[in-house]
Amino acid sequence: MHRVFGLTLYFPYKNAAGAEKLIQQQYNVERMAGNIYATINPNTVDFNGQKLSLLNSKDEANREYQLDKAKTAEGKLISRAASKNGLYEIPVVNVFNEQGDVMKAPATDDKVLYALAATDNTTKGKDGKPIGRKVYSRYEIEVNAKTATALTNADFELVGKGATAGDGSVYNYLFSEEAASAGDLGGTLQLKPVFEEHKAKGAQKVYRKYLICTDASKPSGTTSAAERNAAVNAMNGNEGFKEVLAEGTDRFNEIGVAISAQYNGWIFTYDYYIWNYNGSIYKNTYKVIYTKPMIETQSITMTHTPASNQLQVVTESNPKFSELLCMAAENKKWVDNVKTVSVGAVTGESGVRVSGNEFSAITFTDAKDQNVQNVALTGNAATGVALAAANVKKLSLTYNPAAIALGKVYTVPVKFYNAQGNMVNTVNILFTMNRPEKYDGFIQRIAAAFDGDLTIAWADYDANHPGYAFYNMSGSYNNVGKDLNTPVLTGAESKILFKDMTVYNQANKNEAYKPVLTTNWQYANPFEFNEKIAVPIAAIDRSSKVAGAEDYEYNLEAGVKYFGLGNLYAATENFRLKWYSPIYHAPFQLTKDLVIDYPGVMDMTNASIKSTDPSKSGENLISYLANRDYRIAKVEIKPIMNGSIFADSNTGLFTKYEVSADGTKISFETTEKAALQGTPTVNFHLVVTDVFGCVKTHTIPVKVIPNSSNAPKK
């Protein structure tokens, strides 16, 4: 509430279209006064749309305040839902300004208390008319007008809802559409302070608002007076412009703008006025631009296979950059308007922004492939780089193959802008990196090493790492450990990579077989290696150690890891690996019959044994005695027993069968105890234990020949 003194006031100014005025000595009171919240009992009654009265103890209605229709209260702090406890919101309206006698002061110190009264018009008397019985609340409602506050320039503003805010030098707000679609430009202007109906407590209020477009100019070049007037009139043709806006009306808070696309990028100047309840008037001025791309957004597809681990430049696309609208049919518009270029935000296949070092540059060149502008990217983005558009004919993209996910589509938006920062057009680069395949054919199985998809790992041994066996995959595949690059790329080797994707844990009952790398003898996840793999000795010939068990098999894959980049690896081969002990599986035979006199002595040496190493190509003999093979832990000679007695009684002819202390030979000795009958052959067991805990028993037959001194008598 405020009383206006002085001369007649015009809003926004005298002779303005739709101007309103206040008269000297006139009081001005806000119409919407707030809400009363009340519970209606019983709560089963639906009171929505009903009207209550505001009455004093004499049953007299308040002259200035009236109640609007009740409605269910929503979003209030109540213990039960509003529809269950009967809580209603009742708007209070001040009708002082509607009474005509506005020279009289409104009530500001009324001590009278009022009650809410509901009239029963459903119960009828004997005459058939409603008896009008009333139900009252307590008399505890006080209504008084308060002196109005006044806003100044800093307290109100015009806001472009959803627009980009500027610093005011060129524009305050920029409405920018992403697509170069047909139809009008537009946006929503919010006139703050925003009026919320009946929300009077603590709110900043103004009596009236007024918005008018006063100027318009082209984004570039000279704007004639006729062009300016046409643009201003077109803008003021929107509903809500050049109208005095009263509280509670549709456009008091927001005004929608629609303007022909011919004004794309024009700068419109607005004057926004407020009229305070005390009669004071303030104005703020704003510049607003409505824009959308001048040329339709288009996309080009770039697909590239890297040739090294260094930055790669892609020049080919589908369609070609030179075939796009901005370079062909719309090239003049593009050249005339484009002043700067920006890049970003780059998104991955899922639409999530990627801002690493995937892309390092966009390069524009002329028809002779001479550099026009190299746009360096930081975090895959660049902003406001000057571009001489008239010279541009081609576009290329530089990417980092180490940072790109294989086979995924990246969207690189290249956006072109005019001098005012309005978008001219966007070219989206849809980029995909393919995996090289030129060396995949070098993954070649050694046919003799495979039975179907199964290959045998012939266990090797390193005394510095007891408890493990290792194997070089060159025993199963060609080209293992070689750099396949031709020519050689220093520091960027392309090699065959093997991987074990098995999950080793207690649940899978396979932790005892977890492989390790021979570089550090540790397990790594993912488990991958180029040449050697090591496993616990529990995996070596498991069936020979655990009764009824099967040999453990490893499931592996192989592929080429190009240029040392893990993201350029893909498995092209799957196989199984089973571990054998070469000593356990080595063929074993005697080179000659072993014969001993009775009585007599005989030594068995390496010369008596032929055993070829199955882990090596060609005929490589295994030494069991002198210079014993490093994979053999122990060699023993034992008689064949049947319980606690010899299985062959002739074994008793031997008084000695042992491996010499230096391990170079096995010594046998017979001693005459009785006359020898015939020429018996006595079998012994040669027991060989390797470093992997595998035990192999070979039968050694020794023939006993009687000499002349103990020959049977005729």
Q: What does the CA dihedral 166, 168, 171, 177 come to, rounded to 10 degrees?
A: 20
Does residue 632 belong to any structural domain of this protein? Answer: yes
Does residue 518 belong to any structural domain of this protein? Answer: yes
- The pLDDT score that the predictor gives to residue 7 is 67
On whether the CB atoms of residues 301 and 255 are closer than 8 A, the answer is no
Q: Is the dihedral of CA 459, 465, 468, 472 positive or negative?
A: negative
Read off the CATH number of the domain in which 261 is found: 2.60.40
On whether the CB atoms of residues 171 and 289 are closer than 8 A, the answer is yes
Collapsing DSSP states into helix, strand and coil, what is residue 652?
helix
Residues 243, 334, single domain; the answer is no
Instruction: Indicate the average pLDDT of the chain.
Output: 89
Q: State the average pLDDT over residues 63-79.
A: 70
Residues 304, 319, single domain; the answer is yes
Residues 447, 572, single domain; the answer is yes
Q: Which long-range contacts (CB under 8 A, 24 or more apart) does 219-222 make?
A: 219/264, 219/265, 219/266, 219/267, 219/289, 219/418, 219/419, 219/420, 219/422, 220/337, 220/418, 220/419, 220/420
Residues 162, 272, single domain; the answer is yes
Residues 569, 591, single domain; the answer is no
Q: State the average pLDDT over residues 86-105.
A: 68
Which one has a higher pLDDT value, 429 or 42? 429
On whether the CB atoms of residues 336 and 420 are closer than 8 A, the answer is no
Residues 607, 684, single domain; the answer is yes
**Percent with pLDDT over 90 in the chain:** 68
Residue 397 has pLDDT above 80, yes or no: yes
Does residue 3 belong to any structural domain of this protein? Answer: no
Read off the CATH number of the domain in which 699 is found: 2.60.40.1080
273 vs 296: CA distance, rounded Å: 38
**Percent with pLDDT over 70 in the chain:** 89
Residues 180, 276, single domain; the answer is yes
Residue 77 has pLDDT above 60, yes or no: no
Residue 223 has pLDDT above 80, yes or no: yes
Residues 48, 118, single domain; the answer is yes
Number of domains in the chain: 5
Residues 463, 553, single domain; the answer is yes
Task: Out of 257, 291, 325, pick the residue that ends a domain.
Answer: 291
Nearest to 54 by CA among 98, 92, 103, 9: 92
As given in the structure block, the two tokens for residue 164 are: 């980009």
Omega prior to 466 cis, within 30 of 0: no
34-43, 160-169, 374-383, 436-445: lowest mean pLDDT where?
34-43
Does residue 15 belong to any structural domain of this protein? Answer: no
Task: Out of 291, 319, 334, pick the residue that ends a domain.
Answer: 291
Does residue 704 belong to any structural domain of this protein? Answer: yes
461 vs 691: CA distance, rounded Å: 8
Task: Out of 377, 399, 433, pick the residue that ends a domain.
Answer: 433
The separation between CA 679 and the C-alpha centre of its own chain, rounded to angstroms, equals 85
Q: Identify the domain containing residue 624 by its residue range.
A: 585-710
553 vs 576: CA distance, rounded Å: 6
What is the tens place of the pLDDT at every residue in 532-562? 999 999 999 999 998 889 999 999 999 999 9
Nearest to 260 by CA among 180, 182, 176, 185: 185
- The pLDDT score that the predictor gives to residue 100 is 57
Residues 674, 612, single domain; the answer is yes
Model confidence at 126, pLDDT cuts 50, 70, 90, reads confident
470 vs 518: CA distance, rounded Å: 8
Kind and range of the H or E run holding 235: helix 225-236
- The pLDDT score that the predictor gives to residue 24 is 61
207 vs 275: CA distance, rounded Å: 5
Q: State the average pLDDT over residues 682-697.
A: 98
Between the alpha carbon of residue 268 and those of residues 146, 173, 213, 271, the distances in Å are 39, 10, 7, 10
On whether the CB atoms of residues 18 and 244 are closer than 8 A, the answer is yes
What percent helix, strand, coil does the chain show, rounded to 5? Answer: 10, 40, 50
Give the Cα-Cα-Cα angle 512, 518, 520 (nearest 5 degrees).
90
Residues 363, 400, single domain; the answer is yes
398 vs 628: CA distance, rounded Å: 61
Q: State the average pLDDT over residues 628-650.
A: 97
- The pLDDT score that the predictor gives to residue 89 is 79
On whether the CB atoms of residues 28 and 22 are closer than 8 A, the answer is yes
Which one has a higher pLDDT value, 310 or 714? 310
Does residue 20 belong to any structural domain of this protein? Answer: no
Alpha helices in 41-174 (DSSP H): 82-85
Residues 557, 632, single domain; the answer is no
Which one has a higher pLDDT value, 639 or 74? 639
Does residue 36 belong to any structural domain of this protein? Answer: yes
Does residue 669 belong to any structural domain of this protein? Answer: yes
